[in-house]
Amino acid sequence: MKLVIVIVQHKDSVELIKVLTEGKFMVTKLASTGGFLRAGNTTLFIGVESEKVEEVIDIIKSKCKKREKTIISPYPVADSTGINIPYTYDIEVEVGGATIFVVDVDKFMKI
């Protein structure tokens, strides 16, 4: 048995969970927050038999696509006088996709 841990953007999680549960995979959802954009993420725990891991990964790939997003990032800038000057600029970042961990499960119990 394997535990598939998946971190996806919150926007992608609803459809992903729907397809996984339709495929009879048991999914546990946790809300999480990303570090760089501080955006809402979803972390999923999926317990699965070893031979079904690739099927789960294929579902994740089909529902979690990377995409470009432009964000406005405010960073104070200190000029030569040492005075902070508020300055904002657009940053294009890649969002979406998924981070996937597959780990062995030594023991599984449902009580």
Q: How far apart are CA 15 and CA 53, in angstroms?
A: 19
C-alpha angle with apex 71: 32 to 41, nearest 5 degrees? Answer: 10
pLDDT score for 97: 82
Asked whether residue 36 carries a pLDDT value surpassing 70, the answer given is: no
Domain ranges for the chain, please list them: 2-104
Two tokens at 95? 């969002």
For 2-104, CATH number out of 3.40.50.2020, 3.90.700.10, 3.30.70.120, 3.60.150.10 equals: 3.30.70.120
Judged on CB neighbours under 10 Å (0-12, 13-18, 19+), 8 is buried
* Stated pTM of the model: 0.73
pLDDT in tens, 56-109: 999 999 998 876 766 666 555 555 566 655 666 666 666 668 999 999 999 988
